[in-house]
Amino acid sequence: MNPGFSIGDGTVIGSGSVVTKDVPVNVVAVGNPCRAKNKITEKDKSSFLEMLCNE
């Protein structure tokens, strides 16, 4: 991540991505330069937590 930029709460940055500008909240962002690809919904969050609890 380059200095001076922020990553929003709940955001997931892909491995090897280069953050060159602010990234919004609750998105999956990947690439070089890093770009938001998918919005993370409340349903996504609850499904993930349910999966973790069942392991």
Q: What is the pLDDT of residue 51?
A: 86
CB atoms within 10 A of CB 5: 12
Tokens representing 3?
């200095």
CA-to-CA distance for 42 and 37, rounded, in angstroms? 17
Q: What is the pLDDT of residue 54?
A: 84
Domain carrying residue 41: 12-53
Number of domains in the chain: 1
Phi, psi of 35 (to 5 degrees): -135, 145
CA-to-CA distance for 50 and 1, rounded, in angstroms? 31
Q: Read off the pLDDT of residues 1-51 as tens digits, 9 standing for 90 and up.
A: 778 899 999 999 999 999 999 999 999 999 999 999 999 999 998 888 888
